[in-house]
Amino acid sequence: MPELPEVETVRAGLEAVLPGHRIVRVDQHRGDLRFPLPERFAERLAGRTVLRLDRRAKYILVHLDQAEVLAVHLGMTGRFSVELPHCQRPTQVPSRPHQARRGNGRGESQQPEAAQLGEFTHVHGHDTKHDHLVFTMSHGAVVTYNDARRFGYMTLVPERGLNDHVYFSGLGVEPLGEALTPHYLAGRAAAKKVDAKALLMDQRIVAGLGNIYVCEALFRAGLNPFKGAARLATSKGKPAPAAVRLVVAIKAVLADAVKAGGSTLRDYKQADGSLGRFQHHFAVYGREGQPCLRPGCRGRVRRKTQGGRSTFYCPACQR
């Protein structure tokens, strides 16, 4: 499942080609993804102008005119690709030289260039039979949503009711936003009978965090993922030093991952088709049995199943 940095990478790729342009046509090849698509989905989108793109937790939010939002969740295998004529290609969308199509000898491109905007796939390749939605834009861009396992989903939500929608009403604060503070985390952790990792994985408390970055943040903060979350608060409910360290670690690891274009565990790709690089900076995730990277620590990374997921940690320095 893609996590916040990977979804943000896809959002940034789409932002380079969608805002300010009109959806001319939507070719809808099926009536459902993970859930049924809204009635008259393609018809309701045709003619609409994209105003801006946002992200909420692991959702991409495409703000449209007429005060409506297209909400997109990529699920496990959802991905976008963009094609547009070379002469109209926005400079913001990176393109690797070896991906350019051959020209006709006069400096012109014979075919549109294509950029993959985030592949969260399980090595199934690009099979066009999984191209479920194709958006044709007014400036010539063709944006295709491909989803082999159809775990992704989309819906249309009124702008005014966005925060009250079932997908968003129960979400916690954004981990990269100002609302995530040591005081907030301590307040949510006080008297909790769950472990530290479970607290962070709860989307009702912090929205968008997933297994990879929780493991990495807990390591950076030097906190044992199996110990109680209540340790983040003092007996008076104020932030303990552990809460301060953890908030700093969460924001830092996510910022580093976004800057690196996300993490590639199987075949996730950035907007230009290149692999995310943050997996090369993992301190604990996927490093079972390897030496701890914290200076002065002689421990080795362990893996233990926790809440149905693999937790990677150093028992020597995470206490």
Q: Which residues are catalytic?
A: 2-3, 58, 309
Cα 37 to Cα 34: distance, rounded to the nearest angstrom: 9
Q: Residue 223: is it exposed, middle or buried by C-beta count within 10 angstroms (0-12/13-18/19+)?
A: buried
Q: Which of 86, 202, 83, 197 is nearest to 145 (CA)?
A: 83
User: Residue 52 in contact with residue 19, Cβ under 8 Å?
Assistant: yes
* Helix spans in the chain (H): 4-15, 41-45, 182-189, 196-201, 211-221, 241-259
Q: How far is residue 305's CA from residue 211's CA, in Å, rounded to a whole number? A: 11
Closest CA to 7 of 258, 203, 217: 258
Residue 229 DSSP code:
G
Q: Which long-range contacts (CB under 8 A, 24 or more apart) does 286-289 make?
A: 286/312, 287/312, 288/312
Residue pair 84/112 in contact (Cβ under 8 Å)? The answer is yes
Contacts of 17 (CB under 8 A, 6+ apart): 82, 84, 90, 93, 137, 141, 143
> Is residue 216 a contact partner of residue 5, using CB atoms and an 8 Å limit?
no
Neighbouring residues of 244: CB distance < 8 A, sequence distance ≥ 6: 182
Quote the Cα angle for 168-196-263, to 5°.
65
